Structure 1
């Protein structure tokens, strides 16, 4: 009987955690999670080809103090796959559209890693009224972005698959 109650408690506590959801943003399906509450909204942007799971080590902890949104950009995680290169401007527009679809009003604290920091800087320049603060972790430079854009996407995916 005791084990039964422990299993029920475990099931209830794990069901309280956020679960990935999908939302239509324009022509794309975007994977996201939102957890926590409060006046502050943290918006997490992963680096490079990473999805929202890159934030797993700190996501739940941050949600104890604020509303936290993490997502996978188009082409990453379980979001819609892409066949072309997206610019940082494209990604910033997608991030803005996602926040609009989710009904996020007010400014967000945009926390970004690596290439995501380039997206966040572009977002802040395009939508200054949507940004309360930026936190850039190991930000890539614009030169890094030029290198990424010069990649042969099909060949790169094949080489990554081999690894």
Structure 2
């Protein structure tokens, strides 16, 4: 069984990557401001059957700062670049995207259909009518200026870890605590690097969503590659608007839909078995 952890350069940026397990490859990509260790509960359920690749996007986890603003195509090619750097260029892979990274995972499947065995979207972002905002360069500059101002005031070191803990509690069922080790949380979230990465991705969120809508019109999903959408319902009976939007996403993509009760937005922490099960039955 493979176990490797280190840094790989993709487009000139050092990416923190962890590889575990054996068998067909699956890639796990976490949402905005999340890190590789947020998949920890899922990996032991997958590693006996899959080679599990986790990586931190630039400005996230332990990866180097982002050099450029994110785009849907750029993030799709980033996933391909990580696989290339690992020399995992043989059989197609299953790509799992949580929240914002669901946009990236779908873009990968559309732009790299020959490398896609399946797609699992975990409470993924849904923007049915996104339009590209004006002045993207100004958005980048504003995000960087805000990060610099907050860093100069000592905000990342003083409040970063606590903000991470609070965000995780609010995103879990019954406001369960953050299971991440304190040392890892401080190592990542007490830094300006992660603050800047989150601000930059947030500033260009709508642009990435709008770009994905355009990709849908030009690049079909690979035929025969199954799609599974997992959603954390906002109501016990699953009749809430968020669940309806997730179900509609599954229909749009021609995939299956599964509501995951007793889960918050961080499904991989609340119901890791549901995520692993979706991966193992998708491809």
TM, length-normalised to structure 1: 0.77
Structure 1: segments with no counterpart, 5+ residues: 1-15
Cα distance, 1:145 vs structure 2: 9.6
1:138 equivalent among 123, 134, 139: 123
1:94 matched to which residue of 2? 78
Counterpart Cα distance in 1 of 2:87 and 2:107: 21
2:10 equivalent among 25, 47, 55: 25
Counterpart Cα distance in 1 of 2:4 and 2:122: 25
Counterpart Cα distance in 1 of 2:9 and 2:67: 18
2:59 matched to which residue of 1? 75
Shift of the 49–129 alpha-carbon distance from structure 1 to 2, 3 Å rule, reads same
2:25 equivalent among 38, 41, 48: 41
Aligned residues: 146
In structure 1, the residue corresponding to 2:110 is in which secondary structure?
A: helix
Structure 2: segments with no counterpart, 5+ residues: 164-283
TM, length-normalised to structure 2: 0.46
User: Is the 8 Å Cα contact of residues 3 and 20 (structure 2) preserved in structure 1?
Assistant: yes
Counterpart Cα distance in 2 of 1:19 and 1:64: 15
Kindly report the root-mean-square deviation, in angstroms, between the aligned alpha carbons of the 2 structures: 2.7
